[in-house]
Amino acid sequence: MEKRVAIIGAGISGLLACKYALAKGFHPTIFEAQDCVGGLWNHTIESTKLQNAKQDFHFSDFPWPSSVQEMFLTTPKSWTTFDLMLNILVYYLVSNLSQRNHANLLYIVSILLNVPKGLLKEYVVEFVIVCTGRFCGLPDIPEFPQDQGPEVFGGKVLHSMEYSAMDNASAAELIKGKNIAIIGSKKSAVDLAYECADVNGADNPCTMIQRTVHWMLPSNYAWGVRIDFLYLNRLAELLVHKPGEGFLHSALASILSPLMGTSLEEDKMIPPHGFLQDMYSCQILMLPPNFYDRVVEGSNVLKKSKSIGFCREGLIIDGEDQPLKADIVILATGYRGDQKLKNIFTSPIFQNYILGPSSSTISLYRQIIHPRIPQLAVIGYSESLNNLYTLEMKCRWLAYFLDQTFQFPSTKEMEKDVAAWDKYMKRYAGKYYGGPCVGAINIWYNDQLCKDIGCNPRRKKGFYSELIELYGPGDYMELAPQILRTETSPENNNL
């Protein structure tokens, strides 16, 4: 009997997982809670742009058409759906996964149907691919000091997720003429600050309160070098120690490591850590155009504060006698992707495997499989600096895994490998480690996947090209299965 495969989520991860599973002859079903495909890209705020240049962020066999002029797209405008629509069930919210029996493992996928509301359904499958997204669904709401929580505040508090869910006109209406404070210093915070400044100008400045100052790039160049040359070629990878590396790589990385950049003195808005540390831990961010002009003109104010509390008029921040007055506080404080993944299991054993009691991040073999949870894969939890590129590679590998093309290591060997990768990631992120990220060694990571499935990891022609040229989605093209596709726009995707 054919293996029944369920995919949860129809964002980029779910679509790719489906595409590659189909190409191997499986007939997976995607369960999607919303009414459309594309995941979080359906709910981005007006100022959102891709952080990657268009030539780096596309499906390997489907580059952007020449009519797309923007270098950093204002959200992807079309989805290649590879004729997957027959496999997608929308309005199907998977409420939990349970196991029918442990000897011959079958998953029961419980669905809560949104339309008609409240109807429960169950599906029995042999394999589950969880693609529910790390940055959606469950917001990370900070804990505030006692008696200084949002309940004492006279204004409105919302999370960036709620703001993103609003249509652009309602969002602009909400912030118009208001004093806005934003908590957070990463991409959502910066985009929100920019958007508020655009609407309100210097009359109602928007304040962004940063617990940690991060490196924020005004363009995709750093010191005259395109930043992808710092992480997407093999020469750059020589600077870093890599999990499973041999003596030569280890010796070279030890000699070259000092080039990695040292910490700067903590001062005003200069990050206390090296630029490459942020980059290697996927914390680097691209600023919206002319962001600093808005800071100079006074439309945006940047403040630093380790602790933050609410009072009736606004926020209490470090070193200031008077509260920061605000009408609206937006928490751009990220998501609990780890907890969301844990919550989907009914079994406390699996819950504990996926996220131990003391951990806040999930460790997966090849960033895909949990060594102790059989017949299940997770796509889209670990990050890279170009997620579409990495997600596609993972889905290719997973299709071969489903097809049992390669011999799988023992649980013990997998756990050893997982530990080596964790060690590498924590080493470079240091105290800023926020979750798995293959940022600086994306090619090394792809090499491991290629070797597993029996493909040549060297994708370039000649020694110098291999060392210096940038790697990108096109390099693994011929590994891509060829199946029919159609181009649709998000508007047409409402099934």
Ligand X SMILES: NC(=O)c1ccc[n+]([C@@H]2O[C@H](COP(=O)([O-])OP(=O)(O)OC[C@H]3O[C@@H](n4cnc5c(N)ncnc54)[C@H](OP(=O)(O)O)[C@@H]3O)[C@@H](O)[C@H]2O)c1
Ligand Y SMILES: Cc1cc2nc3c(=O)[nH]c(=O)nc-3n(C[C@H](O)[C@H](O)[C@H](O)COP(=O)(O)OP(=O)(O)OC[C@H]3O[C@@H](n4cnc5c(N)ncnc54)[C@H](O)[C@@H]3O)c2cc1C
User: Degrees (nearest 5) of the Cα angle 378, 383, 388?
Assistant: 85
Residue holding tokens 């609990």?
336
Among positions 397-456, residues that touch ligand X (CB under 6 A) are none
Distances (CA, A) of 375 to 70, 107, 134, 344: 41, 9, 21, 15
Binding residue count for ligand Y, defined by CB under 6 A: 30
211 binds, among ligand X, ligand Y, none (CB under 5 to 8 A by kind): ligand X
Choose, by CB under 6 A, the member of 5, 171, 332, 369 that binds ligand X.
332
In what helix (H) or strand (E) does residue 5 lie, and over which residues does it extend?
Answer: strand 5-8
Q: How many residues does the chain have?
A: 495
Task: By CB under 6 A, tell whether 308 contacts ligand X.
Answer: yes
Task: By CB under 6 A, tell whether 47 contacts ligand Y.
Answer: no
Phi-psi map region of 137: left, alpha, beta (phi>0 left; psi -120 to 50 alpha): left
Pick the closer one to ligand X by CB: 217 or 453: 217
- Stretch in the footprint of ligand Y (CB under 6 A) among 50-58, 298-306, 428-436, 447-455: 50-58
Distances (CA, A) of 194 to 109, 159, 331: 41, 16, 15
11 binds, among ligand X, ligand Y, none (CB under 5 to 8 A by kind): ligand Y
Mask of contacts with ligand Y, 81-110, x by CB under 6 A? ------------xx----------------
The total of other beta-carbon atoms located within 10 Å of residue 116's CB is 7
- Stretch in the footprint of ligand X (CB under 6 A) among 20-28, 84-92, 198-206, 330-338: 330-338
- Cβ atoms 25, 405 nearer than 8 A: no
94 binds, among ligand Y, ligand X, none (CB under 5 to 8 A by kind): ligand Y
Task: By CB under 6 A, tell whether 212 contacts ligand X.
Answer: yes
Rounded to a whole number of angstroms, the minimum distance from the CB of residue 59 to ligand X is 17
- Cβ atoms 142, 183 nearer than 8 A: yes
User: For residue 454, which of 389, 386, 404, 387 has the smallest C-alpha distance?
Assistant: 404
Answer whether the bond into residue 258 is a cis peptide, omega within 30°: no
Residue 362 φ/ψ, nearest 5 degrees: -105, 135
332 binds, among ligand Y, ligand X, none (CB under 5 to 8 A by kind): ligand X
Rounded to a whole number of angstroms, the minimum distance from the CB of residue 253 to ligand Y is 25
Rounded to a whole number of angstroms, the minimum distance from the CB of residue 289 to ligand X is 12
User: For residue 391, which of 401, 400, 381 has the smallest C-alpha distance?
Assistant: 381
Rounded to a whole number of angstroms, the minimum distance from the CB of residue 264 to ligand Y is 26
Rounded to a whole number of angstroms, the minimum distance from the CB of residue 72 to ligand X is 9
Pick the closer one to ligand X by CB: 51 or 351: 51
Strand, helix or coil for residue 477:
helix
Task: By CB under 6 A, tell whether 132 contacts ligand Y.
Answer: yes
Residues that bind ligand X (CB under 6 A): 48-51, 135, 140, 142, 160, 183-189, 191, 211-212, 308, 332-334
